[in-house]
Amino acid sequence: MTMRTDVVIIGAGPAGLLLGHLLRAEGIACVVLERQTPDYVLSRIRAGVLETVATDLMTRLGLDARMNAEGLWHNGFNLADGERLVRIDLAELTGRKVMVYGQTEITRDLMDAAPGRGLEVIYEAEDVALHDIEGDAPYITYSADGTGHRIDARFICGCDGFYGPSRAAIPDSVGRPFERVYPFGWLGILADVPPCNHELIYTNHERGFALASMRSMQRSRYYIDVPLTEKIEDWPDDRIWDELAIRLGPDAAAGMTRGPSIEKSIAPLRSFVFEPMRHGSLMLAGDAAHIVPPTGAKGLNLAASDVHYLCDALTAYFRHNDADAIAGYSDKALARVWKSERFSWSLTNLMHRFPDDGPFERRMQVAELDYIASSRAAQMVIAENYVGLPV
């Protein structure tokens, strides 16, 4: 069975669904392919801090009603090291804020709106393969319900994550990966309890990193860093809560409500960028092209900025036959990607204690936090990166 469309999007996470909705709003025909079931897609627990680049796209689509009703606007966040709490006042320093609204909720909003907006999403598409991406007539093959299918298109957009087939379709002679794998992971616990603080707290404690965050005023998300050798079954809920209370300090611990976990996992940390983000008629977006450690809250937001640039490029092509817009997509997206990678990398280095660090490295962290605490200029740099650089 063969289908024809303008754009095939691989991956029905937030990046793929956002792009699909934006293209349909511009009158561009597209189809989204997803390997998993809708329930599986919604079961993935991911980031919850949104820059305006993400919230603005939802507003542009007119899909922001639930986000505005349930999302929490945050005017600042906190850095702590056991000795002090340094508040970064985002609103005062930049005039902007961030919103806490789970990636799962963004995905649900986009998924629910797809049928009414004419966005076709094909779930449980197996054995997806990309063909003839160097030319002007690429196509996708996949199987579903035991039947082979083919979709011909002008462009393919790979929004299929780090392990998807899109990036792998770019020849080694063309693509170049840049990677830093960190020697720890984040053990996360999600619980239906009120948060311990009304703003996020990032803590660098002698026992390790901790983060107090939230999904709502009734659901909290906490993290601690652990060696990559740790197993989640060795961390019962009580052990996690006890460790959080130590690392976050007495003030945060006093406001912490314990409860049974509804999700626990250990996520390894890496910084990864693949260049270029375009090869022939294939464009990459989101985790297919880059991974950031979650310290800077940039994963979903970088995907949203990719989608912003990619929609503009595709719209220029289909409306005005502007091939230069397509050619310029990778450089434009990567310029913002690398700046966000730098921020996430620097914040990760500041707030974590690495196995090979000694007294000198710790003194450097203390000096950096001293500088941040006493310098409006330093706080401004952190704030403008945290709320998101311009697109």
Q: Supply the residues annotated as catalytic.
A: 74, 202, 294, 298, 386
What is the SS3 assignment for the chain? CEEECCEEEECCCHHHHHHHHHHHHCCCCEEEECCCCHHHHHHCCCCCEECHHHHHHHHHHCCCHHHHHHCEEECEEEEECCCCEEEEEHHHHHCCCEEECCHHHHHHHHHHHHHHHCCEEECCCEEEEEECCCCCCCEEEEEECCEEEEEECCEEEECCCCCCHHHHCCCCCCCEEEEEEEEEEEEEEEECCCCCCCCCEEEEECCEEEEEEECCCCCEEEEEEEECCCCHHHCCHHHHHHHHHHHHCHHHHHCCCCCCEEEEEEEEEEEEEEECCEECCEEECHHHCEECCHHHCCHHHHHHHHHHHHHHHHHHHHHHCCHHHHHCHHHHHHHHHHHHHHHHHHHHHHHCCCCCCCHHHHHHHHHHHHHHHHCHHHHHHHHHHHHCCCC
